[in-house]
Chain A
């Protein structure tokens, strides 16, 4: 098959597939939440997942932007969830719930966070680097994904901000 029609056929197939459903996480350990937060319970809300770890400078540099999103859009239907995924084995201290709690306090994080100590949710979403982001629409579909540090007001911040507003505006 010639290359151009093949590419066109693949593109058509991909376009027809549309956004894929977000996989349901099953993490048991949560902070800033009275009980485990499920994807099912968030249907009707826009969800921004942030895969991070407190030992990652790029992650903690991005937290002020996420705190800002939470402050601006929580009441409008955005739920931010931190997925705290360690880089190293437990000797690093990244698996320790007390250490994660102290990091939440240090960076003024009030949105729910879960410990992904076995990296199951990381693997479920095919994440490869810290920090990473997955934006899920009100129907539970993955609409945007990305990675990398950003700061309040910069280009990446504005891009994520516009994506959040776009999904909040949808029915």
Chain B
């Protein structure tokens, strides 16, 4: 029972994790400004807004570090970051950079090793648990439902999930041929990370924000999580890496009651009730949290189960098997 309670909490923890990443992305540019003020040793020359920022940052960081220079320990975004002495980068950055320069930089590739291994083990988990765009897209899905309640038509279409693999391949090819770094320009987590820095520490948003807002609007009016499902090159890469992931969600058919809550809540339009998870599942555990029968669980196995048929607690199975049960009962009664 405790295990089930824990599993059901994972979705909330995931939202905390996503929020934490987002808050860090907001905190870091402020820290950069604060470090500039402290390095300049010019508190008296600051104007009142700058002094306010300084004072707030000082209050926040004083318990953590002796010297503001130590705040250099955490820098960057989910695209590429440095934590202490360790650099960590998005595998898509390695793909993009090696295609553009047509050369292989081992020391840079190694910075993507941890995300690579985690994706091989747990699949598209970056998309579910870390990506800052995910937080905005998920909130946007609920916003779309809110609009729907007001009568606005939403989520009209579905497309082919394989489209994003084409985007990944085409993007890589164009990068190779032209040397232009187009993938970081269209990849939402890189965009969100950079734009938050630009609006806080530089003089405002760039055109990429308009692009991101358009993807939000497309998500609302065209297809649920449209960019993540059909266009994101990073999502495509993570899905490929996670094809044989070990950490999977699977359905326990004996307690499943075919209620379809899991199918309805899946942001990526997967079908847990039909045992269809596939390489696209980002282990977000929303389906686990919503299942009233606790029939969805994590398992360590490299492949999905083949379709197990209707849930045994569900109407379809019971109806199909009532005859059999009755026949069995008669047989055992009669002798």
A and B co-occur in one complex: no
